[in-house]
Chain A
């Protein structure tokens, strides 16, 4: 269940978006003003014969092609839409049928409107009769129900509403939504309360490619977006769930290929390393919380030191300090320190 965004949470979300100069929060429009996309080039990485990863300035985009058309997973920032579409057209001129959003953040949904309008869907019968051309004029946008809830809620102060045309047109509320497209099973799998509360991973079963959204990245500590329902335990669970899907070769390499939300093309072993890091840091802080250590004491113990040179940062919207604080708060809620036992005299209010 999603809880409505509190005013405080919305302000925090806006602050995060502004601080990053755009990257990851819901408020795309204001954030985009701070970022220059002119020099962004789209790097197209072939994953399989019919699956590609597009790397630009936002979250990675997955392009899945075939005889039925094209499915696009995540659409980066709105100003990049033309470049993304050009990159898609360099791969295939088939119609874009589906856009899938892995979660609500602006760097993953920004191009929804332009890319869905560049596509079209199939419809017939009274649907076409009732709606006319509108029934087929755009590609379908699929996301978890909580993405729609977040996008359709009142925007944070100073933030414009995400355009209606960018909202998901189809949502799901179950563990997964799956269908056949391009002759292959496509599974859209919900991982609850992880990066946000509306995360989906998209598994192309025959191609053996998994697009994870920000449930896995290769460039930063896991971003636990508390304002949008994220939790560290959910994030660890999601990484383990990804590993349940992926199958590597007998030497832990290749096999299922993993397209991360940000960063380079990966496989299961890369997820294993990231899962190990996330679990180890979470478990350390949990242990420190159980020992009754304060947040300052935990920070002084440097629970992320072994990973800071790889994933840490002191600047930007998601610093190492914020990562530690978020885990600390969630562990402290889950494992509140035991109150010291009172003596009989203290209970009676007497001095000993």
Chain B
């Protein structure tokens, strides 16, 4: 009789009666994970070339923002330690530690924690059914995340993000963006997919995926640290100056298209450039003149961050 009462109580809890709806158990992602860069490697490791917006569903506002973005802005003391937002941080080099936090009394899953060595960011994915904060709450680099399981797949919704970027050459992500993530574990491989919706700078959702491999052992402590102390890098810069190009006057605005012999309509991005049909458009487009060949003996850095010696 007693066991029947316990089962009834359990059913009542699961049915949802105002008691926090703890997520059902799914795959356990706990452990140390390291990314593999087979996907989008040039974008993620050496970094994108300036004015390369291919495959990004950006609008005109985002394009102008990126075309005006001067990398020298990152030398400002207030910009030197800026963190990659959570929709970007998983794309870069990082070590990722994941663990679960459980209620000691009930062993219910309260939260899943992600610690990223890059920028020493700790991210909390709440699994206890709590709502997202209201519109007046502060925004953070990692945002506010809640998760749930669909089978073994972890689905995470994130809001309250700070302004960041979707590509490391100045293509912006606004603080109005929201992200949905899907995490799946297949043995020691974790696939992480995110869908980013940004009403300010994107005309369609941006979808990216990346994979991580579980490390068999803990990493040295130092590999988990990211110490950033801003310093004055350009001593004679006038106070308050914000490096930026006048729209349309980016000194390298044609370089990417010319180097790779891509039409301007492709490199400027936009939703249409994401789809296979765009290849037909490209075939009909005018190609820009190629970059002049480097002088003999010159060292040239190519798009993938490799050096090439001209003969």
Contact = CB atoms under 8 A, between A and B. Distances in A.
B39 to A, nearest CB: 27
Contact of A275 (B83, B174, B200, B242): B242
A68 interface: no
A176 interface: no
A272 B79 contact: yes
B239 A243 contact: no
Q: Which of A269, A272, A276 has the most CB of B within 10 A?
A: A269
Contacts of B246: 284, 287
B81 A306 contact: no
A306 B200 CA distance: 10
B60 interface: yes
A279 B134 CA distance: 30
Interface string B93-127: 00000000000000000000000000111000000
B72 interface: no
Given A236-B240, A279-B242, A280-B244, A264 B137 contact: yes
Interface string B224-241: 001111000000000111
B120 A251 contact: yes
A268 B79 CA distance: 11
Nearest to B59: A309
Contacts of A263: 136
A265 B136 contact: yes
A267 B141 CA distance: 12
B168 interface: no
Contacts of B167: none
B68 interface: yes
A334 interface: no
B89 to A, nearest CB: 11
B79 A250 contact: no
A257 interface: yes
A138 B182 CA distance: 57
A167 B226 CA distance: 52
Given A264-B139, A284-B246, A306-B61, A250 B200 contact: no
Contacts of A45: 134, 136-137
Decide if the interface of chain A is mainly helix, strand, loop or mixed: helix
B138 A264 contact: yes
A254 B81 CA distance: 13
A270 interface: yes
Interface in A49-70: 53, 55
A249 to B, nearest CB: 9
Interface in B143-180: 162-163, 172, 174-176
A253 B141 contact: yes
Given A264-B139, A301-B247, A309 B242 contact: no
B83 A283 contact: no
A283 B226 CA distance: 34
A253 B136 contact: no
A309 B61 CA distance: 7
Most B CB atoms within 10 A — which of A264, A272, A275, A303?
Answer: A264
Given A302-B64, A306-B65, A269 B247 contact: no
A310 interface: yes
Contact of B82 (A252, A266, A280): A252
Nearest to A280: B244
Contacts of A252: 78, 81-83
B82 A306 contact: no
Given A264-B138, A265-B136, A272-B79, A307 B61 contact: yes
A286 to B, nearest CB: 11
Nearest to B142: A253
A252 B134 CA distance: 22
Contact of A267 (B81, B138, B200): B138
A283 B172 CA distance: 20
Contacts of A55: 136
- Give the interface size class of chain A: 35 or more
A154 interface: no
Given A251-B120, A309-B201, A273 B163 contact: yes
B311 to A, nearest CB: 42
Interface string A237-260: 100100100000011111001000
A184 interface: no
A308 B61 contact: yes
B62 interface: yes
A43 interface: yes
Given A240-B239, A306-B61, A43 B134 contact: yes
Contacts of B120: 251
Contacts of A254: 140
A305 interface: yes
B135 interface: yes
B247 A272 contact: no
Contact of A305 (B64, B73, B138, B175): B64
Interface in A266-321: 266-270, 272-273, 275-276, 279-280, 283-284, 287, 301-303, 305-310
A251 B81 contact: yes
Nearest to B242: A279
A310 B200 contact: yes
Nearest to B135: A264
A250 B81 contact: yes
A283 B78 contact: no
A266 to B, nearest CB: 6
Interface string A333-346: 00000000000000
A80 B65 CA distance: 39
Nearest to A301: B247
14 contacts: A45-B134, A53-B136, A251-B121, A272-B79, A275-B242, A276-B242, A283-B242, A284-B246, A301-B247, A305-B61, A306-B247, A307-B65, A308-B61, A309-B201
